[in-house]
Chains A and B, each alone.
Chain A
Amino acid sequence: MSGAWAAPARLGRVSRPVSSALAALVWLHPAPALAHGSLAIGDFYSGMLHPFLHFETLLPTLAMALWSGQLGSPHSWRLPLAFLGAVMAGTVAGILEVDLSLAATSLELSMLVLGLLVAARGKLPASLALALAFLFGLFDGQTSAYDPQAPIARPLLFIAGVGSSVGLILFHVVTRVVRYRAFWVQTGVRVMGSWIAATGLLVLALEWTGEK
């Protein structure tokens, strides 16, 4: 483990019980979500819940985290931060109903690209990787804000909720991928990337034929 990673790793050890409890709290939320709209769980928790509810937003985030972890420092903290910032910016845009997506397929495209990069352990020039992280984060955030059933009363709380969930996912996954260098763990990471890419590829084909 390189020196640059020592601090986040230590942070990971200290905060694991706390962050695990938070994560468990998030996973226990599906029951209240059943009453989405009628039973208010508050905009912060609603925002926290959102990245977990839809594979469209969860899988690109997961792939982003896996890839950042594979690349190691300094990408392992730069890319997630860029992605997280973009997710929150995208959520703002989503709430303001500014359409940033290039197409309906932007999330599937990010699943395919990021998944293939993870499966191949691909490397890109730093600036291009950052640009990709930001672009895919925007797509992801914008979709997180979209929910016709539940109007958002307090947008700032919602954005903070989305940010904390996405931040938790990124932090948990990246620290683990960086720390566990065992061959079979790294192979498992590549397999997961391959699954995400395959899912993206199938849905891209489906969307493409649907548009015709």
Chain B
Amino acid sequence: MKVDSRWAARALPVVALLVWLPAGALAHTAGGAAGAGFLTGFRHPLGGIDHVLAMLAVGMWGAQLGSPAIWALPVAFPQVMALGGVAAILGLPLVGIELGVTLSVLVLGSMIALDRRPPIWGAFLIVSFFAVFHGYAHGAELPGKTGAVAYSAGFVIATGLIHLTGIGIGLVVKLPHGAKALRAGGSAIAAAGLFLTGQLLLR
């Protein structure tokens, strides 16, 4: 995958827009909930190590699986996660949300460590199953209607960016010995997942 540097230079204004937007929104309402919404939403997925590790693992696994998972998962994942969020907003009961989130770290890390390669629909089902838990956990903490769009956009974008970061890390498979390095990274995530799950169960 070759990145055209000229294109990157042209993308800079877009990045600048993304960086400037939250500041602008914050300034406009002068401390109102709508302005703080984006930043709050953006920080939310970054705040929990379990969420960050699971999302990184989804990206890394996608990169390990290669096409079509590497590009299909980032397109499909937000929809499934949003459905989980909708379930939380509608108040549908879902048991073991925290356990589901920590287990997702363990399982997805193991998939990378063991270099498991299910067919695309299998990978999608596994990722979707856990995505619902993640979306539910986020959706349950959505604030009221004020600033809801900014908050939701913030956390969807942050989650997506962690996913893309995971893909970026996963692209080490293209380097010599990269496949082994990626599997080692997966092992580390799985170990963290095991620790988090144990911590949760023994609490």
Contact = CB atoms under 8 A, between A and B. Distances in A.
Contacts of B81: 198
Say what secondary structure dominates the interface of chain A: helix
B93 to A, nearest CB: 15
A194 B75 contact: yes
B79 A202 contact: no
Interface in B1-34: 1, 4, 7, 10, 13, 16-17, 20-21, 23-28, 30, 34
Given A194-B75, A195-B157, A205 B149 contact: no
Interface in B83-118: 83, 85-86, 89-91
A105 to B, nearest CB: 10
A33 interface: yes
Contacts of A180: 7
Contacts of B10: 176
Interface string A90-129: 0000000000000000011000000010010000000000
B172 interface: no
Interface of A: 20, 23-24, 27-31, 33-34, 36, 52-56, 58-59, 107-108, 116, 119, 176, 180, 182-185, 187, 190-191, 193-195, 197-199, 201-203, 205-207, 209-210
Nearest to B16: A27
B152 A202 contact: yes
Given A180-B7, A210-B145, A202 B27 contact: no
Residue from A23, A24, A54, A183 whose CB has the most chain B CB atoms within 10 Å: A54
Contacts of B77: 194
Given A176-B10, A201-B86, A194 B24 contact: no
Interface size range of chain B in the complex: 35 or more
B38 interface: yes
Nearest to A210: B145
A207 B30 CA distance: 24
Contact of B75 (A27, A119, A199, A206): A119
6 contacts: A36-B30, A54-B34, A108-B149, A199-B152, A203-B148, A207-B148
A139 to B, nearest CB: 13
A49 to B, nearest CB: 8
B75 A190 contact: yes
Interface of B: 1, 4, 7, 10, 13, 16-17, 20-21, 23-28, 30, 34, 38, 71, 74-79, 81-83, 85-86, 89-91, 139, 142, 144-145, 148-150, 152-153, 156-157, 160, 164
B13 A56 contact: no
Given A33-B24, A33-B27, A34-B27, A206 B89 contact: yes
A23 B15 CA distance: 13
B24 A202 contact: no
A5 B27 CA distance: 39
A31 B30 CA distance: 11
Given A23-B13, A180-B7, A209 B89 contact: yes
* Closest A-B pairs by Cβ, 4 of them: A30-B24, A198-B78, A198-B82, A205-B86
Contacts of A176: 10
Contacts of A23: 13, 17
